[in-house]
Amino acid sequence: MLTYRPRLKRLRLLALLAVTTTIGTAVVVAEPPSAAAGALPATIPLTFKNSSGRSEQVYVYNLGTDLATGRQGWADAGGTFHPWPAGGSVPVPAPDAAIAGPANGQSMTIRLPKFSGRIYFSYGQKLVFKLATGGLVQPAVQNPSDPNRNILFNWSEYTLNDSGLWINSTQVDMMSVPYAVGLKRPDGSVASTGRLKPGGYRGFFDALRGQPGGWAGLVQTRSDGTVLRALAPGHGIEAGALPPGIMDDYINRVWTKYATSTLTVTPFANQPSVKYYGRVSGGVMNFSDGSGTRVTSFQKPDSDSVFGCYKRLDAPNDQVRGPISRTLCAGFNRSTLLTNPNQPDTSSAGFYRDTVTNHYARKIHAQMVDGKAYGFAFDDVGAHESLVHDAAPQQAYVTLDPLD
């Protein structure tokens, strides 16, 4: 069984996309404030534009959870929800949920229902989805036997409810074919994010291949020479493509520093008086509140815990451990814990400066037009994530960009 990695993201509903084999993410956060029932129409349009420059047929999928019922399933091009049938102890093929996408240079419009899920898109081949007794089995391409391993594909994530639309691009699990997301606001203006700089796609892969220390191993290429993706470093460790101790030197230095000094975490930007104080003792980082009461403790994490923001950096959806953990996770991935004892450090000027850092996330951010991305699970700490939101969206957009 491959690893199931929970992840926290602000302003998103619980997206129970899968409970068995997944590519690695489940969204767990506080629900946005509710608006009055019926504040938005039952569906909104999403324009899907193909500017990829590629000739293959594109297939589009809208998979996730129907927010009215909590049932998992898929939506067709008209926005009608279809629940998944029962799966089996041996996974069985899921119904074909593919929507034929537009040719290069063309656009199409589908309808998004009130849903929390993913919009997958693949080039040249349909994706393989199966149903187990626990739910949908999604692609897990860090597994060399996964049937989607040699398919060029990617996905966006979104939640649409009566409080509005949240839609983002993501590289938390892999960096693959480029795309941008956006939405139209009631005043007609368009907000977008996720777009790479010209030449940024190849620039990212060239930079990753040139990074010493084994980072080139994250790149997966098809037998015909097509670059399919770069695995996120946690999945790279799982697949044996990245050394498992690649972050150990930095982790050790952090643990040494805070054995003799204090790490101050102020996890809520709107609650500056809420602070927690961390000190390492006996190999454990203990956090106390202002009264000196211990509130939570962390064993020294390994590299996988850092990259996945789980295991020894688990972040439950609570008001104490989860917020502290996400702050630690961001500090480790951005390598700011040694340079700033007051976390979170939200200024990107100091990110990724140590030689031991999450070079995968660093190189993704460097190639983004607006500098924003989801290079790891808590990239939203300090608002560095590639997310757009509006309470009354008129339309959504996904644009497939060139692989240059």
Residues recognised as catalytic = 157, 173
The runs of H, that is alpha helices, within 300-385 are 303-308, 321-334, 359-367
Q: Tell me how far apart the alpha carbons of residues 9 and 54 are, in angstroms, rounded to a whole number.
A: 33
Q: Check if the beta carbon of residue 216 is closer than 8 Å to that of residue 208.
A: yes
Is 173 exposed, middle or buried (CB count within 10 Å of its CB: 0-12, 13-18, 19+)? buried
Residue 274 structure tokens? 């809420």
Residue with tokens 């919009």: 119
Q: Tell me how far apart the alpha carbons of residues 181 and 193 are, in angstroms, rounded to a whole number.
A: 6
CA distances in angstroms from 231 to 31, 154, 281, 345, listed in the order given: 30, 12, 35, 26
Q: Tell me how far apart the alpha carbons of residues 41 and 162 are, in angstroms, rounded to a whole number.
A: 8
Q: Which residues pair with 136 in a beta bridge?
A: 131
Residue 12, phi then psi, degrees to nearest 5? -125, 150
Q: Given the DSSP bridges, would you call strands 115-123 and 58-66 parallel, antiparallel or unpaired?
A: antiparallel
Q: What is the DSSP letter of 307?
A: H
